[in-house]
Structure 1
Amino acid sequence: MRTVSACTLEYAEVPRPKVATDEAVVQIEHVTLCGTDLHIFEDDYTSELPLIQGHELSGTVVEVADDVAGVAVGDRVAVDPLIACGECATCRKGRGHVCPNLMVFGCYCDGGFVEYLSVSADRLHRIPDGLPTELGAVAEPTAISLESVTRGRAAPGETALVLGCGPIGALATLALHDLGATVIAADTVPDRLDLVREFGASHTLLVDAASRFPTAQLAEVLRDDSSDGPDLVIEATGVPASLANALDVVAPGGRVVQVGISTRPTGFPLKVIPFKEVELLGSRNSQGLIPEALKLIARHQDTVRSLLTHRFAVNELDQAFATMRATDQRVGKVLIDMPAKVQV
């Protein structure tokens, strides 16, 4: 399946890939969709169409190159979709997840909406025994959430505020709770707050998007801790005003991690950063955290499964994208089953 032009899909027969040096061929079984996929489908992203989408992937290894060790036919795997150049200064520093030349399956190059995908073997991570293959597809967004928690140097006993309770915010809440932090979560949608409590939030705040962040309610939540604010704030909405709120409420000496993405400019008084000695950190993709993501999902399978609100076959992708646009129902992660018998 490829997105040919904005909101137009095309299904076609393509040759099965041949295994190359350092690679394995994976039969893709499950793909989950995120907001980026919808933006690509609507041609509101930096991707160039036509494009085979799909970057949150899991499946089974069916062929392995002779020179590959550590991956075997029959292994169930989650796919790390990042393809760094490996040669630039950033890659040489070990930060290939922010490589200036970064390619990503399904975003900047053809991805996982195919029956078979040839992948560099070091991009494959075994799914633990007892963890269903379909939950392995959630490893990529879970790793993104873990990256934000890692960047924020979250520690047991700290208080963290998560702004935005979509899948990334919910999974960050789960990671923080699993670590032993106390989590406060805020969103504009009551249903999301109901969900994030299941992911470990001790307190939730309903925010009116048209007004200032509810600092009075936050102060009440923190009153018993004698705290001057949360130690860590993870901003997972990409709304410029939300970043300003994060800097406003974080404790002096605290950390703010910006994981939500937007092209919109933001503005806030610069003095808040030096006056409170706030650390403002960006977080993008993950620095090799898919194995840790799989372990986290395995420890909390039922919780993570609750994110999968809708399920479609690959020949129902148009319905899947329409569902993602829906405003009359809660849409978490949309799971796509592969392969499917498709009329072409």
Structure 2
Amino acid sequence: MLAVRTIAAETLEYADVPQPELVPGSALVRIEHVTLCGTDLHIWEDDYTSELPLIQGHELAGTVIDVAPDVDRVAIGDRVAIDPLISCGECRACRAGRGNVCPQLTVFGCYSDGGLVEVLRVKAPKLHRIPTGVPTDLGAIAEPTAIALQAVARGRATAEDTAVVLGVGPIGLLATLALHDLGARVVAADTDADRLELAREFGADDTILVTADEVFPGAAGAAALHRLSGDDGPSLVIEATGVPASLENGLRVVAAGGRVVQVGISTRPTGFPLNLLAFKEVDLLGSRNSTGLIPDALQLIGRHPDRVRNLITHRFPAEQLDRAFHTMRDRSQRVGKILIDMPAGAAA
């Protein structure tokens, strides 16, 4: 079968490898669609903690083609999305039901071989049926949707909240959609006007265009926040850029007693004044991966398939994966989610 390996920086190898064999508790999935995220780009550039060579691909969907006799969770022919997280099951985090932050966590396509193959062997608990009416290709977006849902859950969001989403790339847009789906009032903020227009399609009630000319949120932004939250300010902020200054912005505008969730990832140090946390008694929460939220993600996608499809800006066959990665880092065009069709999925 075909496997696409990243063997060195910006270097792919198309290899013919043996198809995996069933083992107890597993199923074989013919991978049809893979979507790419920023982590994939960093791995391809060899600018990540992953070790090369590696078969990338952690946002996956396909069809079950064989099932071990002891598996009744899925059947041959089921369309499935795959949870790529594999935790140890024994550490303190795992015992507390938080395997998403397991110190020994591995992830298909990031730290172990992933889904840029024709057939992948997967343990049955990691397989989730795609609901009727949800196209298989949108099932590949369940994993980033679950990441957005994790951030919303960490923020204890309810319909009573006024929430600000800082940064509306794919995770921020999906968080906006999830908050809107809950009934919360949502303000989306970004430096890109086109992204903000899309955020409105994803349910944002108002938007803030972040500029270098004004201290955030600026006059128009302050007016928008006041319209939706009054004098109190927003009760929830989700920071989805990974930019330290954006986190400080969130801490400044959040209401007293509010919550700020950091889902954007960066190695850059922060430098905000500590009284931003203490004086308002803000809950500052990290958010990583998701705690088994793929089924909830599929349900959210099923309620809003047209909106979620708007995330996909480019589509390539696996044979053009190199072109897909070059497109991802092309700053001259708008790039949302890039969908890769594996050979079985190209005609689906």
- The offset of 1:228, in angstroms, is 2.2
Which of 291, 305, 308 is residue 304 of structure 1 equivalent to? 308
Counterpart contact for 1:323–1:331, Cα < 8 Å: yes
Residues 93-104 of structure 1: pairs in structure 2 closer than 5 A: 93-104=96-107
- Does residue 332 of structure 1 match 2:339? no
Q: Percent identity?
A: 70
Alignment-mate amino acid for residue 119 of structure 1: V
Alignment-mate amino acid for residue 61 of structure 1: V
- Does residue 147 of structure 1 match 2:147? no
Note the alpha carbon deviations across 1:136-156, whole angstroms, 9 max, x for none: 000000000000000000110
Which of 80, 85, 91 is residue 83 of structure 2 equivalent to? 80
Secondary structure, counterpart of 1:12 in structure 2 = strand
Secondary structure, counterpart of 1:122 in structure 2 = helix
Residue ranges of structure 1 left out of the alignment (5+ in a row): none
Which of 261, 272, 279 is residue 276 of structure 2 equivalent to? 272
Counterpart contact for 1:315–1:340, Cα < 8 Å: no
Aligned-partner Cα distance in 1 for 2:82–2:252:
38
Name the structure 1 match of 2:121.
118
- The offset of 1:79, in angstroms, is 0.3
Counterpart contact for 2:165–2:239, Cα < 8 Å: yes
Change (3 A) 1:340 1:313: farther
Name the structure 2 match of 1:242.
246
Counterpart contact for 1:314–1:340, Cα < 8 Å: no
Aligned-partner Cα distance in 2 for 1:80–1:210:
42
Name the structure 2 match of 1:175.
178
- The offset of 1:94, in angstroms, is 1.1
Name the structure 2 match of 1:68.
71
Change (3 A) 1:29 1:181: same
Aligned-partner Cα distance in 1 for 2:214–2:15:
49
Counterpart contact for 2:239–2:247, Cα < 8 Å: yes
Alignment-mate amino acid for residue 276 of structure 1: K
- Does residue 323 of structure 1 match 2:337? no
Aligned-partner Cα distance in 2 for 1:7–1:128:
36
Alignment-mate amino acid for residue 280 of structure 1: L
Which of 151, 157, 161 is residue 160 of structure 2 equivalent to? 157
Aligned-partner Cα distance in 1 for 2:76–2:344:
22
Aligned-partner Cα distance in 2 for 1:296–1:315:
31
Q: How many residues align?
A: 342
Aligned-partner Cα distance in 2 for 1:89–1:237:
29
Secondary structure, counterpart of 2:338 in structure 1 = strand
TM-score by length of 2: 0.96
- The offset of 1:210, in angstroms, is 7.1
Name the structure 2 match of 1:92.
95
Alignment-mate amino acid for residue 231 of structure 1: S
Aligned-partner Cα distance in 1 for 2:344–2:37:
20
User: After TM superposition, what 4+ stretches of structure 1 lie above 3 angstroms from structure 2?
Assistant: none
Note the alpha carbon deviations across 1:3-47, whole angstroms, 9 max, x for none: 000000001011000011111110000000001100100011110
Aligned-partner Cα distance in 2 for 1:211–1:265:
23
Alignment-mate amino acid for residue 59 of structure 2: E
Two-structure CA RMSD over aligned residues (Å):
1.4
